[in-house]
Chain A
Amino acid sequence: MADRRAIATAARLYFVYATRIVDARAARSTGRGRELPFLRLRFPGDPAIIRRRAKGASLGRVGRRAVDGVWKEHERRNCASRGGVCPPGGGVPTGAVIILFSFDYIAHYENQNEYYTMAVVFLGAMMGLVFSSNLVYLYVFWEITGIASWRLIGFYRGKTDVLKADKAFLMTALGALVMLIGILAIHGLTGTFDLGAMKGTALPLGISALLLVGLLSKSATLPFQTWLPDAGVAPSPVTALLHAAVLVKIGVYVFARLFLSTFVFDEALRTIVASIAGASALVSAGAALVETDFKRIVAYSTVSQIGFIFLGLAMGNALGAAGALLYILMHGLAKAGLFLSAGIVEQNAGTKEITKLGGLMRSMPWTAVAFLLCAFSVMGIPPFGGFFSKYMVISAAVKADEMVFGAVFLAGALLTILYLFRLFTKVFLGEPHGVLAPEKSRLMVACVVLLAALSLVGGLAVGWPSELARVAISQMLGVAG
């Protein structure tokens, strides 16, 4: 009974977040510049709503106070960046589907209260981070996501599970501490933590490097990538939530927020970030071709795709930044589908070792087709959404006269096609090993199919998300998209 109540609370709280974002009724337009007619933004952690709907539920007093602070900040300066539209725009619907998926997935296990609480804390902190306009708040929310993901990854209590959770936490926390030094250095330089007040500052490369360590470790990019595949020990909805939809995109988002819209963009930084991103994309794609664990392969794929997002942002032009925002959205949808398919396969077949799987196309036709569609989107095949974002980020490299980076990422795109087909062939085709497990939960399959359909629709009606990205970028960069 307690479990069910927790689920109900979690779901309600979650949908408070989700609905508030698109609730046009609540929007008191305070915006400067262009306003999106279909998506008037309000801060999702609106304290009035939290007080009314979720008394004492989960954010806790500290979190609520922090939220209040950010909210006042938001009211005062209306500085929540409209660039913040995209991560929640991608994260919220994806996160909703993932939570829905976990109703059936998690039902078999203990510690469900912890699971739902942490998932909601995580999403709430994510929202707080997105709408923070102050480096201290940003850091606080950043660490809250770290703690929540530590508990989520360590959901199972086995020895390796706990160890891998610790590893993820230590690596990201280490990066965050380095970033904190960078934040303090920025304060020393500008005398403020307010992002709006420090706009236009030229940041020395050393401080940029400190910040970058934190961003790269959170986004699981080379040389901090290895916690992400290891975190595959977590339940599949967690991996989908953390690795596909939200957590790893935080670093990318903050990068955009800091280096594109706040500080003066440094040419040297472009080369550094693009080189790291290129190496990261290739190394992890190569690893994905060798690995034999379903979820590790998908996780390496995420590391590889994050490289593409960094490439788009590092190029520093509107095309690349818009492409990166689209990439966050499209990749989130498709990769969540892949992780959730992995969850269905793992739970029903009892293994995630692809050498022990095979022929599941026959017993899991819906999962197989949905997996394939999501894979097409990740590969970047039109008319799936992934094509447009991939095109835009590589095109941005060409536009910035960085032909070499363009070519490197094309090689990355080819490897993407290869490892995803290898995975599909090994798991869903070929000779079956043992009993062919059926798809048990209809809800879980429906979630995966929904994500596949959204990936397709996102490409067919690409004008809409593209418009969103364009408006966000024009505000972030202060240029007409």
Chain B
Amino acid sequence: MTPLLLILAIAVPAAAGLLVLLLPSRRAPWAPAALAALTCAFELVLAVYIFPHDFAFTWPWMGFGAEFAVKLSRFSAFILLGIATFSFLVTAYSAVSMAKAPSSRRFHAWVLFTVALSAGAVLADNLILFLVFWEGLLLTLFAMIAAEKTRPFATAVKAFVIVGLTDLALMFGVMLTGHLAGTMSMSAIRLPLDGLGAVAFLLLMIGAMGKAGAMPFHSWIPDAAVDAPLPFMALLPGSLEKLLGIYFLARVSLDLFILTPASWVSTVLMGIGAATILLAVLMALVQRDYKKLLAYHAISQVGYMILGIGTALPVGIVGGLFHMVNNAIYKSSLFLSAGAVEKEAGTTDLRELGGLGRSMPITTICFLIAAASISGVPPFNGFFSKELVYDGALERGWIFYAIALAGSFFTAASFLKLGHAAFFGKPANAKRTVKEAPWPMLLPMIVLAGLCIVFGVANSLPLERLIQPVLGTAMKGAHGGTFAGFPTNMLLVGLTAGVLALAVANHAFGVHRTGRGIGAVDHIHHAPGLSSVYKLQATGALDPYRMLGGIVGVASRGLYALDRAIDWVYSGLAAQSALAVSWVLRKAHNGNVNRYVLWALAGAVAVVLAVLAVTGGGR
């Protein structure tokens, strides 16, 4: 079997993307979506086909350590499979949901480029090549948000600037890593975490977290949820970016650097993970828009993955990676359900939704499965991965575990609220008749919901086939070298069950208090102390992007003043002093002969004095 298959995995989507851009879209408006779905299907077949192999392929490129080196490892094969699966499901879905949108052609072209670049980033075995693919994703991200004409351009710029900032950090990290290791070949690098190594690690980590959307690089995601087309949300912030970001984070922690639980870097990672979980879920809790609520959860769930990998313990890392897969499954399913609701009910504002359970039963069931999964209800997949992360977190410190558990409580509470407000209760608008979404939109949701169950009930399948091989044989699980099966630590399971029960009780209390599903968390929203923070957040003052803008604004005005000051030296000072000198000289030359004789005498005296001074005076 030839390793050129790897090149195909990158080149075929890219070529298809170009083809889509060239298609005459007026005559065949369905063609771009169909071609995109077909290409992603091909990618999926290819990913399955090459999965068991180990390929490597190197091509000389631009010199200075940059080689076109691609390599298929256990890990990259697994992520490639994920990328192909999710892009296939989303394009199958968007073929219907975006069939009539004028931006369909551009959108699908960019989806295909995204798939190509993601495949490239996962397969790259050279840091510079990786960087090219990784940063290239910045362009497709920008273009997909901006695909809908000019309206969401501000959001696209925001996403570009935030992710671009983290990409610059990543670039610096790549340079440092290459410099320290003396090679750019990723599979040859293995650095200790000390001094500059730690700096390089942190920079690479910023890049990975920026892609995954962890705090504080998150604030474009909720904006994009409102402005960008929905399949975009399911594809990029929902699944692909998480896969890529966590892939790279794990790659950095496991391969490029030697991360041990004793290292302070590990604690930093866990801290960021825990903070992301709690802060983002608190924001999700009070959202009144289906898509925005999901967007904040997309941020919050990254926290679990970073926390898991940050523990630097086998159980935590396996949990983090498993959670990455699970999150991609249930989060894209949830986003797709939001798309179905938006298409059929015409809005995603929770205040105008309600009672959809009767008219959209299949969507409702898919939503319920995915929501139970994200909330960590057994036997769905989210439960198992969260337990593994908890296990690792508790071993490293109870505070991390406590925060993660609190995150679970709020996650469950917000999904109870969302489900109640959207699918149950009374319809807010009784006149509107809502139908079930068409089958091509339902099928991807059903497949994903089915995966939620399969990956939960039969969790040995993903864990033993996909994730544990990544870690190699060095890291053994608690019983029999595997992490599959039901959690062994019954204390953790009990606490999880307790938290879930508490969330249900909280929901019942809230609904009883306000009488509406949407008001289920009002008592938390308006709690003393929290409410002022929420108010401040609503004004955008806590948005890191806004803060960056402020800092840059002040700095640039200072720099501009400096520039003007330098200019003044030439335009002001130099010109004025030239004028002053010429004024003095002009005054001296007034045409009076006596004056000129005087000048001549004074000059002669000056010359004599100068000569005397130089020769050392009257000897």
Q: Which of A227, A381, A398, A418 contacts B552 (CB 8 A)?
A: A418
Residues of B within 8 A of A227 (CB): 570
A381 to B141, CA, bound (A): 12
Residues of A within 8 A of B569 (CB): 223
- Smallest CB separation, A468 vs chain B (Å): 11
A282-336 residues at the B interface, CB under 8 angstroms = 282-287, 289-291, 300, 318-319, 322
Contact between A382 and B164, CB atoms less than 8 A apart: no
For B559, the closest partner residue in chain A by CB is A286
Cβ-based interface call for A406 (8 A): yes
- Smallest CB separation, B216 vs chain A (Å): 15
Contact between A466 and B63, CB atoms less than 8 A apart: yes
A376 to B558, CA, bound (A): 26
For A422, the closest partner residue in chain B by CB is B157
Residues of A within 8 A of B150 (CB): 361, 429
Contact between B62 and A466, CB atoms less than 8 A apart: yes
Cβ-based interface call for A195 (8 A): no
B557-615 residues at the A interface, CB under 8 angstroms = 557-560, 562-563, 566-567, 569-571
Given contacts A381-B138, A398-B179, A463-B61, contact A225 B570 (CB under 8 A): no
Residues of B within 8 A of A425 (CB): 153-154, 157
Cβ-based interface call for A467 (8 A): yes
B123-172 residues at the A interface, CB under 8 angstroms = 128, 131-133, 135-136, 138-139, 150, 153-154, 157, 160-161, 164-165, 168-169, 171-172
Contact between A481 and B63, CB atoms less than 8 A apart: yes
Residues of A within 8 A of B165 (CB): 414
A318 to B171, CA, bound (A): 20
Cβ-based interface call for A415 (8 A): yes
- Smallest CB separation, B161 vs chain A (Å): 6
B159-203 residues at the A interface, CB under 8 angstroms = 160-161, 164-165, 168-169, 171-172, 175-176, 178-179, 196
Contact between B566 and A399, CB atoms less than 8 A apart: no
Residues of A within 8 A of B175 (CB): 391, 394-395, 398-399, 406
Residues of A within 8 A of B153 (CB): 425, 429
Contact between A413 and B168, CB atoms less than 8 A apart: yes
Residues of B within 8 A of A112 (CB): none
Cβ-based interface call for A226 (8 A): yes
Contact between A417 and B62, CB atoms less than 8 A apart: no
A291 to B161, CA, bound (A): 20
Q: Which of A383, A410, A467 contacts B63 (CB 8 A)?
A: A467
Q: Which of B64, B171, B555 contacts A319 (CB 8 A)?
A: B64
Contact between A421 and B62, CB atoms less than 8 A apart: no
Contact between B566 and A287, CB atoms less than 8 A apart: no
For A222, the closest partner residue in chain B by CB is B566
Cβ-based interface call for B58 (8 A): no
Given contacts A283-B563, A290-B556, contact A417 B136 (CB under 8 A): no
A349 to B557, CA, bound (A): 28
Q: Which of B62, B128, B563 contacts A286 (CB 8 A)?
A: B563
Contact between B172 and A394, CB atoms less than 8 A apart: yes
Cβ-based interface call for A167 (8 A): yes
Instruction: Give the total of B residues in contact with A, Cβ under 8 Å.
Output: 44
Cβ-based interface call for A36 (8 A): no
Q: How large is the interface on A (under 10, 10 to 19, 20 to 34, 35 or more residues)?
A: 35 or more
Residues of A within 8 A of B154 (CB): 425
A167 to B570, CA, bound (A): 8
For B149, the closest partner residue in chain A by CB is A361
Residues of A within 8 A of B64 (CB): 318-319, 322, 392, 395, 466, 470, 481
A282 to B563, CA, bound (A): 10
Cβ-based interface call for A388 (8 A): yes
Residues of B within 8 A of A209 (CB): none
B537-560 residues at the A interface, CB under 8 angstroms = 552-553, 555-560
Residues of A within 8 A of B178 (CB): 395
- Smallest CB separation, A400 vs chain B (Å): 9
A15-71 residues at the B interface, CB under 8 angstroms = none
Q: Which of A318, A383, A403, A463 contacts B136 (CB 8 A)?
A: A383
A463 to B569, CA, bound (A): 45
Residues of B within 8 A of A291 (CB): 560
Contact between A391 and B63, CB atoms less than 8 A apart: no
For A376, the closest partner residue in chain B by CB is B139
For A459, the closest partner residue in chain B by CB is B132
Residues of A within 8 A of B563 (CB): 225-226, 283-284, 286-287, 300
Residues of B within 8 A of A417 (CB): 160-161, 164
Contact between B559 and A387, CB atoms less than 8 A apart: no
A379 to B139, CA, bound (A): 12
Cβ-based interface call for A100 (8 A): no
For B61, the closest partner residue in chain A by CB is A463
A282 to B136, CA, bound (A): 25
Residues of A within 8 A of B196 (CB): 403
Given contacts A398-B175, A414-B164, A429-B153, contact A225 B128 (CB under 8 A): no
Most buried by B among A286, A289, A392, A415: A286
- Smallest CB separation, B520 vs chain A (Å): 40
Residues of A within 8 A of B164 (CB): 379, 381, 414, 417
Contact between B62 and A414, CB atoms less than 8 A apart: no
Residues of A within 8 A of B138 (CB): 381
Contact between A289 and B552, CB atoms less than 8 A apart: yes
3 closest A-B pairs by CB: A286-B559, A289-B556, A286-B556
Q: 12 extra interchain contacts, Cβ-Cβ under 8 A, other than A286-B560, A382-B132, A466-B63?
A: A226-B566, A226-B567, A286-B557, A287-B556, A290-B556, A318-B64, A381-B135, A391-B175, A413-B168, A421-B157, A425-B157, A466-B64
Residues of B within 8 A of A (CB): 61-64, 128, 131-133, 135-136, 138-139, 150, 153-154, 157, 160-161, 164-165, 168-169, 171-172, 175-176, 178-179, 196, 552-553, 555-560, 562-563, 566-567, 569-571
Residues of A within 8 A of B (CB): 167, 171, 222-223, 225-227, 282-287, 289-291, 300, 318-319, 322, 361, 376, 379, 381-383, 387-388, 391-392, 394-395, 398-399, 403, 406-407, 410, 413-415, 417-418, 421, 425, 429, 462-463, 466-467, 470, 481
